[in-house]
Structure 1
Amino acid sequence: MKTRLATAAGAAVLTAATVLGAPAAGAQTAAYPTTPITGVSYGASYVSGTLTWYNRSVGVDGALRAVGCRRAWVGTYDASGSLLGARSTSTKCDVTYSLDDFPSVPADVPGGAAYVVVCLDDASASPLDCEPFYRP
């Protein structure tokens, strides 16, 4: 009797472990949403690329095209318009500068940033053009 009970209990534990340890059918990791950076320009200078919306930060990839001396600035905001974090490049002159190594911009609140503002600044960090981009 004890042998049958132990065998039945052992089989139930193995079945449960197999079912619980198996990955869900069709389960995949969802990609983070992205938004193209467009329309941020002043004369022949521009900022272009892609924003990647993470849970508590926003990634920036792309380029700063500086004709004369320019800077790129990116700020994250919550839904009420409070600034969560900001990053900028140093001043770049007469060059196309890659933003692919631009550090992620903090947005350390539940759900992350509601929107981002991308600015093209002059050499003194005064905005020449700024555009908002909303989380998809």
Structure 2
Amino acid sequence: MKTQLATVVGSAVLTAATVLGAPAAGAQTAAYPTTPITNVSYGASYISGALTWYNRSVGVDGALRAVGCRRAWVGTYDASGNPLGAKSTSTKCDVTYSLDGFPPVPADVPGGAAYVVVCLDDASASSLDCELFYRP
């Protein structure tokens, strides 16, 4: 009986030591929120992809499909509607152009941009279609 009890107690102590000696789970950083870019189109031209909401900028990934000559324009705004920053591509003609290397759009205020406007422009930078996307 004592041997069985000693075995059970010894096993319990060994298990407790293993659990208590295990390193704590590492702190996980939350991923930045993203918003899909949808409904920005004019004829067969469109902008698709995603916005990534960083603390003081907004990242843009995706594609500009230009039928004819088009540009992608992205502007950031604070909660009062004040512009914070803007970036655009150069004019692209009859091509699908990757926006994955698009530089982050500045939003250098505490909390970052409240919303973003994404526009599909013509070759003269006149807007053909714009959509507003709020920070999630």
How would you bin the TM-score normalised by the shorter chain? 0.7 to 0.9
Partners of 1:131 and 1:122 in 2: CA distance: 15
Poorly superposed stretches of 4+, deviation over 3 Å: 23-26
TM-score, length basis structure 1: 0.81
Aligned length: 114
Please tell me whether residue 85 in structure 1 is matched to residue 88 in structure 2. no
TM-score, length basis structure 2: 0.81
Q: Deviations over 1:82-134 (max 9, x none)?
A: 00000000000000000000000000000000000000000000000000000
Q: Which residue of 2 aligns with 1:53?
A: 53
Q: Deviations over 1:1-20 (max 9, x none)?
A: xxxxxxxxxxxxxxxxxxxx
Q: Deviations over 1:34-83 (max 9, x none)?
A: 00000000000000000000000000000000000000000000000000
Alpha-carbon shift at residue 24 of structure 1 (Å): 6.3
Q: Which residue of 2 aligns with 1:73?
A: 73
Q: Which residue of 2 aligns with 1:119?
A: 119
Q: Which one-letter code corresponds to 2:126 in the other structure?
A: S
Partners of 1:25 and 1:79 in 2: CA distance: 37
Partners of 1:133 and 1:89 in 2: CA distance: 19
Partners of 1:27 and 1:68 in 2: CA distance: 49
* Runs of 5+ unmatched residues, structure 2: 1-22
Q: Which residue of 1 aligns with 2:132?
A: 132
Structure with max Cα Rg: 2
Equivalent pairs: percent with the same residue? Answer: 91
Partners of 2:93 and 2:129 in 1: CA distance: 17
Alpha-carbon shift at residue 27 of structure 1 (Å): 2.6
Q: Which residue of 2 aligns with 1:29?
A: 29
